[in-house]
Every structure is written in structure tokens, then in C-alpha cells.
């Protein structure tokens, strides 16, 4: 897969040229709680990650795609993780880097493309996501597209000297 094309965006594979973009996202402390990151990543580590990003999802159990507008501007990332071919499921996560590009439908379109790719081409039966109780924007996004809340993990994450709850949402192929 080279790209997935939507009406306003494309999803494309990671390229070596994405080093600064990925480095900026991964080292943005304000979103570390979303990925349970504890420490900054070095340029070297991200470069190594990008050098191995071509590996097949069946081998590495994850896939990260860059969300770009039609002009090629990188807007964010969408990930499939914990890919489990035997049980036909994977987790999904999404981030739009700059607040200026949020609430414009890019995330919704990226999620739709990823769901279609997951069900049609990867043969998955379900996708799931984990979203902090306070993240109403993401909760609304995933619910809008058909994900259902299946549980609440109480005191699941510890950030800023306090525990927070996390929802588990699931989308089963119809």
C-alpha cells in the first residue's frame, strides 16, 4: 500500500523525510499522556524507526500512516497497533498535530479510510481504541463513526499526579 485517497486527504506510508514531523509529534510533552510516553525520543531513534517503517504489518504488528492534505502537507498520524491476525482485530489511534487543523474533518476522513482498509484489505473483524474520559473530542469522533463504548477502566492512567479513567471503544465489522 502506497496511499489511501479520500476526498480531502490522503494516507501515505512513512518516508525518511518525515523525520522532523514525527520527532515533533513524539516529543510534544502535551500529548505524551495519549501514548503513555515517559521520555523524549532522540533523532537517531526516530530515524531508525523510519528506516524500519516499511516492514509488513503482519511482521511488526503495527502500521503508522501520515495524514496529508491534497497538497501534500502532513497533518497528523493514524496508527494500527496490536495487530492480531488470528483474532482479526487491531487497535487504532489518531493525532492531528496542529490545533489549527483539528475540527476540519481530517480525522474523521482518515478514520473512515483506515476502517475501510482494515476491514476490506486486512480482513479484520474489529477495531478498538482506548480514550481518556476527559478527551471528549476523540470520544465524539469515534462514536460518530460507529464505535461503541464497551467499558471504562477506572484509575487507568496516572498523569499530573492524578489518576484518570479510560474508555474502551469497539467497532465490529457489519
Evaluate if residue 1 carries a pLDDT over 60. Answer: no
So what's the pLDDT on residue 88? 98
What are the two backbone dihedrals, phi and then psi, of residue 87, each rounded to the nearest 5 degrees?
Answer: -95, 0
Cα–Cα dist 147/43, whole Å: 35
Average pLDDT over residues 33-50: 73
- The span from the CA of 44 to the CA of 28, in Å, is 17
Beta bridge partners of 169: 129, 149
Taking the model in full, what pTM does it have? 0.89
Q: Which residue has the cell 510516553?
A: 37
Which tens digit of pLDDT belongs to each residue from 43-83? 787 778 777 777 777 778 899 999 999 999 999 999 999 99
CB atoms within 10 A of CB 94: 21
**Residue 108 near residue 98, CB atoms below 8 Å:** no
- Per-residue pLDDT tens over the stretch 87-129: 999 999 999 999 899 999 999 999 999 999 999 999 999 999 9
| CATH number for the domain running over 3-127 | 3.40.630.30
Amino acid at each position: 500500500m502506497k496511499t489511501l485517497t479520500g476526498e480531502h486527504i490522503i494516507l501515505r506510508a512513512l518516508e525518511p523525510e518525515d523525520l522532523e514531523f514525527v520527532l515533533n509529534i513524539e516529543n510534544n510533552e502535551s500529548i505524551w499522556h495519549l501514548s503513555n510516553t515517559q521520555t523524549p525520543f532522540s533523532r537517531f531513534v526516530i530515524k531508525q524507526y523510519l528506516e524500519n517503517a516499511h516492514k509488513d504489518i503482519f511482521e511488526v504488528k503495527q502500521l503508522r500512516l501520515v495524514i496529508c492534505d491534497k497538497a501534500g502537507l502532513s497533518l497528523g498520524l493514524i496508527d494500527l497497533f496490536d495487530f492480531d491476525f488470528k483474532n482479526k482485530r487491531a487497535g487504532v489511534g489518531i493525532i492531528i498535530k496542529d490545533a489549527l487543523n483539528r475540527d476540519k474533518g481530517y480525522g474523521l476522513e482518515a478514520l473512515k479510510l483506515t476502517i475501510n482498509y482494515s476491514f476490506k484489505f486486512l480482513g479484520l473483524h474489529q477495531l478498538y481504541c482506548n480514550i481518556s474520559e476527559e478527551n471528549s473530542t476523540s470520544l465524539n469522533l469515534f462514536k460518530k463513526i460507529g464505535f461503541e463504548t464497551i467499558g471504562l477502566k477506572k484509575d487507568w492512567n496516572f498523569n499530573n499526579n492524578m489518576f484518570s479513567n479510560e474508555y474502551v471503544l469497539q467497532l465490529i465489522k457489519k
